[in-house]
Amino acid sequence: MKILAVNAGSSSLKFTLFELPKTEAIASGVFEKIGLKDSFYTIKYDGEKTRKEVYLKDHSVAVDYLIKDLVDMHIVSSLNEIEGVGHRILHGGAEFTHPVILNEDVVARISKYNELGPLHNPANLLGVEAFMKALPGVINVGVFDTGFHQTMDEEHFLYPVPYEWYEKYGVRRYGYHGTSHRYIYKTICNHFGKDNLKVISCHIGNGASITAIDSGKVVDTTLGFSSLVGLIMGTRCGDIDVAIVQYMMKKTGKSIDEVMDDLYKRSGLLGISGVSSDSRDVEIAAEEGNKRAILANEMYAQKIANYIAMYNNELGGADVITLTAGIGENSKAMRKAILEKIASLGVKLDEQRNDFRGEFRLISTDDSKIPVYVVPTDEEMEIALETYEIKIKNN
């Protein structure tokens, strides 16, 4: 069965076509600068990459090009081979806790949460509408970044603010990167042949979050009402004293939107290092002796270590720690820095095992109290698998 996994952004549309249940990626691609005159798209298939420069007026036009090329490039013999389309949707509030079949009514209900995910949700739904129009009769499934985290208990998802803020306005911890954390949890459970593990899942990239999971249920997660809190990220600040916002407004004369823009786009690794939001550039600068880059890396690793220690306590002792995403999968230096800072938990790094990039691998020693694995994430695969399961159930 062929399933498309789709991630629509405000001016982009990414896709991967999978053959399931073999979990084989057949083709992938991205449509960029949708709505702009210099728009283009690329498709990777059979070891080759094809680029076409065309005017993509909107997401519907992008989808039309996609489904045409799937046939013209002989990726599929006909569109009838595509039996499902899975869509990444950022926010489903507390209502959408599991993947759901999309129709006009469900799309309208999801749109109520657009104000909670203003940069992503409207764009995600544009992709949904485009595929519903282009492939009528094909099942469309929404997979929510927030969904996995809705298993948290009140003591973990509520904030210590006036309770009516939660009752009237939905102020609570929602959590993000849920599709990645779910995929990582399933993968590590399959590796151990168990389904009741206590896992600390560390999604460490330009955006970053850590999730504590017990027997498939989220206990706690670092991202909250927004994607601004928790760990230090590429350009986002993570945890700060909220009074700083008011203070900087008074000191600089900036509006609240301008200060929040600074916290979203000019903070994190970029703000501390002054070098870049890209951890690779910061790592190089640190190796060259740049003091602010060294400081940025130290702060980054320490914050991750602190949350791992806290979540180990919340879980009553983790069975395994996993590292994933761009930094977690590829930076042996950052992995080493993090593990050295959690030595008090009995975690021991095997430096020889840690000398690699982008593979599933154990990096702790055999006598480490908690084993640590690098587990490459595949959110598109998880979206496709969730869509496949719903398709099978509804046949």
3-class SS string, the chain: CEEEEEEECCCEEEEEEEECCCCEEEEEEEEECCCCCCCEEEEEECCEEEEECCCCCCHHHHHHHHHHHHHHCCCCCCHHHEEEEEEEECCCCCCCCCCEECCHHHHHHHHCCHHHCCCCHHHHHHHHHHHHHHCCCCEEEEEECCHHHHHCCHHHHCCCCCHHHHHHHCCCCCCCCHHHHHHHHHHHHHHHCCCCCEEEEEEECCCEEEEEEECCEEEEECCCCCCCCCCCCCCCCCCCCCHHHHHHHHHHCCCHHHHHHHHHHCCHHHHHHCCCCCHHHHHHHHHCCCHHHHHHHHHHHHHHHHHHHHHHHHCCCCCEEEEEHHHHHHCHHHHHHHHHCCHHHCCCECCCCCCCCCCCEECECCCCCCCEEECCCCHHHHHHHHHHHHHHHCC
- Residues tagged active-site: 145
